[in-house]
Chain A
């Protein structure tokens, strides 16, 4: 069963506009969430994270919002740039467990058009 879901396989936006990538999760034990960006032939690169005690975390052009009651998080990129074009993965972990393994969604391919 897919505990972390990214229901949009792809998203296309214009340069300068906002990109919104969505992620849903089903496991209520998840309490730490991360976004990774991945270019072809490279490993995932950590972007931003959020703990379940917060509902928003911002880092430059990237903001992650967490809605615990809806088990939903989103990544906002504004303004979007062509270099942001990549696959974005949502990941979650449960601090209650001892291993902190990450459970990933299937990813969303973001294309930012000049």
Chain B
């Protein structure tokens, strides 16, 4: 399977704990995005990488959130001191930007539940 993969698929944690999610993009894609989706809403942009450089962070991404993409391959999203409001589906997407067109391909997501 050469699509976007995410691990874990589900995570249940207690408030105050730290969690880390991993995303493996499609191998030749140079851009990697993180989105968050809550119930009844569409995905909301969090941050993106061009190769290994993190180029933009949404204001939704508080100081408790950090993302990395070492070597421009896989990416991790860490949430420190989780809060109940962090409960959501965290989606990773990747794309290869050619001629300014940007079809993003999504992984299956990591569903986070903070108790």
Contact = CB atoms under 8 A, between A and B. Distances in A.
Contacts, number: 66
A101 B46 CA distance: 9
Interface residues of B, number: 29
B106 A45 contact: yes
Contacts of B109: 42-43
Give the bracket for the number of chain A residues in contact with chain B: 20 to 34
Contacts of A51: 101
Interface in A19-78: 32, 34, 36, 41-46, 49, 51
Interface stretch (B14-22, B37-45, B64-72, B75-83): B37-45
Interface in B73-115: 91, 93, 95, 97, 100-109, 111
Interface of A: 4, 32, 34, 36, 41-46, 49, 51, 89, 91, 93, 95, 98-107
